[in-house]
Amino acid sequence: MIIEKLKIINKTGLHARPATLFVDKSKKFKSEIFIEKNGKSVNAKSLINILSLGVEQGQEIILKINGPDEVEALEELKKLIESGLEEGE
């Protein structure tokens, strides 16, 4: 299992469109992926679960990834977050 703390830098946090990008990217991996904020942990492959966290700009989340492609998953998701969740633009 890999655990990594990341800071959300995009203006809208993990809401609507950015959260959708994150979910879509997470679903490409076989590993289990969870996002934790303030002690609440949710499945990162569920848009509703991510939106329920209410992650805003400047807040930190903890990614927990466990599975056969966990290293690759962390690299890709970390890159997406550090880019401001603006992939594809």
- Known catalytic residue at 15: yes
Given a contact cutoff of 8 angstroms between Cβ atoms, the answer to whether 42 and 52 are in contact is yes
Q: How long is the chain?
A: 89
Query: Of the listed 8, 13, 14, 15, which one is catalytic?
Result: 15
Distance CA 3, CA 33 (A): 10
Sign of CA dihedral 29, 63, 39, 54: negative
Catalytic residues: 15
